[in-house]
């Protein structure tokens, strides 16, 4: 059997399907159409909401391979890896795409070495090469200073993880039909060596900066930990979350999950406000896909202004309170 079909790896959490699963279907649909092959979503989990599974089809999938078992309720790479490897040997997809999430970036390399596949991390663009049908995978490298396009000429499948939030899900089309294929798990696929003992949600304010629409981030210009209150206040007014530069995190002003940049998280919000952040290359690489960037910095030569859509050169201790004040005035008008 030759290698056909494009696959995307859906992610679920306690039976609910994560948004990224639909985002990557958008990528997969475009590739499958170019190749003239079927698009399948692979869903591994337990007791997944039936309507959400159908939504995979409404948002682009032709098929869903569904592997459910109690032991698959949570992501354990050994178990998920074994199931995926078994599916690959059975159905032979030519392309597999996963979100560049913590589980996607764990599962894909784990599987790729076993099935002798080429794997490219954190792609921002995927396309099909004319003539050969090879997958062209483009990703930033060396601190985001270059874009490398990579292909896998001889090995199949071709595997890639793609940045979260780098595409939007296709609209729901209730008329789309597809097949849900329930996989009977072969014995021995559940590894059993690793046990998940528990999970605790991050206690501080919401710090899932990767999923945020609005991020207000602070850097060295804040001068001390207490001044992050200014950032928190502005973020709250805008309905956003708090981010930080590496400098601010390294100084212990705020915890690592807030860190934006190459050594932290890559973010793609609709609005990114950089306050007192000069804009090192490693920071800029992390915000490149933000839709709108606003910078506030006292140094007119700060690199951050080069990538800004709107910049204010000024003292953040004047500017930020003035913005907050104006926002509450606007809100007052609306409510009044």
Q: In the window 24-63, what residues touch another protein (CB under 8 A)?
A: none
Q: Are 50 and 87 in contact (CB under 8 A)?
A: no
- Residues 14, 145, 177, 328: which binds another protein (CB under 8 A)? 145
Q: Are strands 6-10 and 214-218 parallel, antiparallel or unpaired?
A: unpaired
Q: Least distance in Å: CB of 271 to another protein?
A: 5
- Residues 90, 141, 225, 328: which binds another protein (CB under 8 A)? 141
- Residues 14, 90, 292, 328: which binds another protein (CB under 8 A)? 292
Dihedral sign, Cα of residue 7, residue 13, residue 15, residue 17: negative
Taking CA 205 as the corner, what is the angle to CA 201 and CA 210, rounded to the nearest 5 degrees? 75
Beta carbon nearer to another protein, 61 or 107: 107
Q: Which stretch binds another protein (CB under 8 A): 1-9, 107-115, 176-184, 219-227?
A: 107-115
Write a three-state SS string for 82-124: HHHHHHHHHHCCCEEEEECCCCHHHHHHHHHHHCCCEEEEEEC
What is the distance between the alpha carbons of residues 336 and 334, in angstroms, rounded to a whole number? Answer: 5
Q: Are strands 39-45 and 16-17 parallel, antiparallel or unpaired?
A: unpaired
What is the distance between the alpha carbons of residues 211 and 11, in angstroms, rounded to a whole number? Answer: 15
Question: Within positions 201 to 240, which residues make up the interface with another protein, using CB under 8 A?
Answer: 201-202, 208, 210-211, 214, 238
Beta carbon nearer to another protein, 181 or 313: 313
Q: Least distance in Å: CB of 3 to another protein?
A: 13
67's enclosing H/E stretch is: strand 63-68
Report how many residues bind another protein under the rule CB under 8 A: 94
Applying CB under 8 A, does 15 fall inside the site for another protein? no
Applying CB under 8 A, does 117 fall inside the site for another protein? yes
Q: Which stretch binds another protein (CB under 8 A): 34-42, 53-61, 134-142, 218-226?
A: 134-142
Q: Which stretch binds another protein (CB under 8 A): 42-50, 55-63, 174-182, 316-324?
A: 316-324
């Amino acid at each position: 059997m030759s290698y056909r079909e494009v696959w995307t790896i859906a992610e679920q959490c306690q039976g609910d399907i994560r948004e990224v699963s639909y985002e990557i279907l958008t990528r997969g649909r475009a590739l499958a159409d170019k190749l003239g092959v079927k698009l399948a979503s692979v869903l591994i989990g337990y007791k997944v909401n039936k309507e959400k599974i159908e939504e995979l089809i409404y948002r682009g999938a032709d098929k869903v391979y569904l592997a459910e078992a109690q032991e698959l309720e949570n992501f354990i790479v050994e178990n998920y890896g074994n199931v995926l490897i078994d599916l690959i040997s059975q159905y032979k997809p030519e392309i597999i795409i996963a979100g560049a999430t913590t589980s996607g970036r764990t599962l894909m390399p784990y599987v790729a070495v076993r099935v002798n596949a080429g794997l490219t991390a954190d792609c921002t663009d995927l396309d099909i090469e004319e003539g050969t049908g090879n997958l062209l995978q483009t990703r930033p490298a060396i601190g985001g200073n270059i874009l490398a396009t990579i292909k896998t000429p001889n090995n199949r499948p071709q595997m890639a993880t793609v940045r979260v939030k780098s595409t939007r899900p296709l609209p729901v089309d209730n008329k789309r039909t597809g097949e849900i294929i329930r996989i009977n798990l072969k014995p021995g696929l559940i590894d059993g060596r690793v046990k998940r003992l528990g999970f605790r949600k991050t206690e501080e304010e919401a710090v899932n900066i990767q999923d945020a629409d609005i991020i207000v981030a602070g850097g060295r210009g804040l001068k001390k930990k207490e001044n992050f209150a200014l950032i928190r206040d502005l973020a709250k007014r805008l309905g956003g979350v708090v981010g930080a530069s590496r400098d601010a995190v390294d100084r212990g002003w705020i915890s690592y999950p807030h860190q934006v940049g190459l050594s932290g998280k890559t973010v793609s919000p609709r609005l990114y406000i950089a306050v007192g952040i000069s804009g090192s290359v490693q920071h800029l690489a992390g915000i490149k896909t933000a839709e709108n960037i606003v910078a506030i910095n006292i140094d007119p030569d700060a690199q951050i202004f080069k990538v800004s859509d709107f910049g204010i050169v000024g003292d953040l201790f004047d500017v930020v309170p003035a913005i907050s004040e104006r926002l509450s005035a606007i809100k007052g008008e609306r409510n009044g």
